[in-house]
Amino acid sequence: MNNTDNFTKKDTLAIKALAVMLMIIHHLFAFPDKFSEGVSLNNLIILSDGSPLSEIAGNYGKLCVALFMMLSGYGLYISHKNSDGNVTATVLKRIKAVYIKYWQVFFVMIPLGIIIGVEKVSVSWSTMLKNFLAIETTVNDEWWFMTLYVIMLFLFPIIITWVDRKNANFLKDFVYLLLFNTFVNTALLTFTQTNAYMASFNGTYFWQKMSVALVMLPMFTIGCMLAKYDVISLVLKKVPDRLFRIFLGIGLLILTITLRQSWAMRSNWGWDRLDYIYAAIFTIAFTLILYNTKKIKDVLAFIGAQSTGIWLIHTFLCYYYFHEVFFAVKFPILVFLLTFSVSLLLSWVISYVCHRVWSIFSKIS
């Protein structure tokens, strides 16, 4: 196989960049009810049913959850296979890395909010400690993903045992995943929510988190499966013609948008029950489209490397601290560009400063 036909780390970062852009679009435009008084958008494109195009794009942007989970599963599987096989060490290394990034943003954005008098982040010391450890995420509601990601990392030893079991097969496991996904989203959740004996358990912290983790499990697991069977690289190898790759990629992208919008099966948390499949198709689609576009992929890879920081930062800007400022430009594309560019800049600056400080302390010690 030609090396250019491999799904590389740069490709992963490029998809992460697209995922974080979808996330920003989702948070900016899918919740007009969150706009404060006097904040509005000048929507230039209104669809026949009266829905603004920006709101439709915002709803589709929820796919970012499945994309990030899928890419996390993909990356963790590759990291584990490239290590000495110690799954515990792989998981702990990933937990350490994500918490370091989380705390870097935490120690910048939370004090900033306290200084400018934002009530949401002015909480008790006990609540602040829970947020610091990501047990709770009340200082930023969109940080909920952090807790679920850590839970998924702890579940990884079980997941990889299943994925790497003897006689495993991609198509067979895909069917198992579909059945598991259907069971969790229908029978299991319905039972816990409606059964009188489960009422107290349903309200516990454990089940509130674990129920979401079970719904997200197929998103993470399909990433592991794509990595194990090298599915994306195989697709690239099977479609050698560059022009056909682009058209096929565009077709697959249109397919995910059409199916997700017209055949919606939304879960209790807003994402579609088949988002783990749509995320895989989306990733394959853009990998085909971006094939041999080195400069574009370089830019996207740079953005993707900052995706965690952008996620952790952007809602402080557009929701909690400077809501009116970021929506003052009125037009959706300008609101997006402003939020995205400032979040990217802040993420890079925080990363750079922390890296420099750490380098200085390392030399001293």
Measured CA to CA, the distance from residue 52 to residue 28 in angstroms comes to: 13
pLDDT at 170: 96
- Its pTM stands at 0.93
- Terminal CA-to-CA distance of the chain, rounded, Å? 47
Q: Could you list the residue range(s) of the whole structural domain that residue 235 is in?
A: 3-364
User: Residue 362 — very low, low, confident or very high, per pLDDT cuts 50/70/90?
Assistant: confident
User: Residue 263 — very low, low, confident or very high, per pLDDT cuts 50/70/90?
Assistant: confident
Q: Which two tokens stand for residue 99?
A: 């918490």
Least confident of 203-217, 268-282, 322-336: 268-282
Q: How far is CA 2 from CA 7, 18, 31, 234, 283, in A?
A: 11, 25, 45, 11, 20
Query: Among 279, 158, 130, which Cα is nearest to 214's?
Result: 158
pLDDT at 47: 83
Count how many domains the chain has: 1
pLDDT at 236: 92
Average pLDDT rounded to a whole number, residues 119-139: 95
186 pLDDT above the threshold of 90: no
The burial class, CB within 10 Å (0-12 / 13-18 / 19+), for 43 is: middle
Measured CA to CA, the distance from residue 115 to residue 106 in angstroms comes to: 14
User: Residue 142 — very low, low, confident or very high, per pLDDT cuts 50/70/90?
Assistant: very high
User: Residue 50 — very low, low, confident or very high, per pLDDT cuts 50/70/90?
Assistant: confident
C-alpha triplet 169, 171, 176: angle, nearest 5°: 90
1 pLDDT above the threshold of 50: no
pLDDT at 265: 64
User: Residue 361 — very low, low, confident or very high, per pLDDT cuts 50/70/90?
Assistant: confident
**Of 197 and 293, which is predicted with more confidence?**
293
